[in-house]
Amino acid sequence: MTEIKATNITWHEGHAGRAEREAIVKQKGVLIWFTGLSASGKSTIAFTLEHALVERGHLAYALDGDNIRHGLNKNLGFSAEDRTENIRRIAEVGKLFVDAGIVTCTAFISPYLADRQAARDVIGAEDFVEVYVNPSLAVCEERDPKGLYKKARAGEIKGFTGIDDPYEPPTDPQIEIDTGTVSPREATSLIIGLLEERGAIPPLNK
């Protein structure tokens, strides 16, 4: 076995504190919750933001369908009950990430007001930034990168948000972005400006 080297380690009965971790990464944990229709551009903005933050030396992490629906939540479907459990688990994971000191982005349709309110409650309103990605439905349908709207209109997919399942828009989002007219780059700049204003990340040295 390895030789015991450190002798200044003390026995702790609880977790290290969030503030200690935030001091290491020189940022504050925060959750940026993107909500909007399928093909509204949530993930694109979340990825662009994640990259921009990482390039500035910040630890940022995006949770989206790719790493959640195929992993933690692969045993959930798209019934109202499963959608609620989907968002509940994402909020709980987001809370852990924020506690770890990470600038965390979540990009999920999250169509129901009550589920997003529950997420805000779990994470804490002071650490929760709601971004409503809100192009028109027509823009989303025109993009339709996976052909899902087409299938939903043809009745081949049931319970599709915006077609035959409701999307309940945020009543008071911190930021609203019409990606029909605002580019991912512009959206990212807006959000970074907000994070600087909130003190989650320091402003860039000019």
Q: What residues act catalytically?
A: 110
Phi, psi of 129 (to 5 degrees): -120, 115
Instruction: Name residues contacting a copy of itself, limited to 122-161 (CB under 8 A).
Output: 122
The smaller minimum CB distance to a copy of itself, of residues 22 and 165, is found at 22
Nearby residues of 110 by Cβ (< 8 Å), 6 or more positions away: 33, 35, 87, 116, 119
- How many other C-beta atoms can be found within 10 angstroms of the C-beta atom of residue 98? 21
**Residue 2 touching a copy of itself (CB under 8 A):** yes
Q: Report the alpha-carbon distance of residue 133 to residue 43 in Å, rounded.
A: 10
The binder of a copy of itself chosen from 33, 97, 149, 167 (CB under 8 A): 97
Q: Which stretch binds a copy of itself (CB under 8 A): 67-75, 111-119, 124-132, 161-169?
A: 67-75
Q: Report the alpha-carbon distance of residue 115 to residue 169 in Å, rounded.
A: 12
Phi, psi of 132 (to 5 degrees): -95, 110
* Least separation in angstroms between CB 21 and a copy of itself: 6
Q: What is the CA radius of gyration of the chain?
A: 19
The binder of a copy of itself chosen from 31, 32, 63, 133 (CB under 8 A): 63
Q: Which stretch binds a copy of itself (CB under 8 A): 92-100, 132-140, 151-159, 162-170?
A: 92-100
SS3 176: strand
Nearby residues of 50 by Cβ (< 8 Å), 6 or more positions away: 60, 61, 62, 105
**Residue 20 touching a copy of itself (CB under 8 A):** yes
Looking up tokens 């990259």 gives: 51
**Residue 172 touching a copy of itself (CB under 8 A):** no
Phi, psi of 176 (to 5 degrees): -125, 130
The smaller minimum CB distance to a copy of itself, of residues 60 and 152, is found at 60
The binder of a copy of itself chosen from 61, 137, 157, 198 (CB under 8 A): 61
Which amino acid is residue 63, in one-letter code?
L
Q: Which stretch binds a copy of itself (CB under 8 A): 84-92, 113-121, 130-138, 158-166?
A: 84-92
Which residues sit at the interface with a copy of itself, rule CB under 8 A? 1-7, 9-16, 20-21, 24-25, 44, 47-48, 50-52, 54, 57-63, 66-67, 71-72, 75, 85, 89, 92-93, 95-97, 99-102, 122, 175, 183-186, 188-190, 192-194, 197, 204
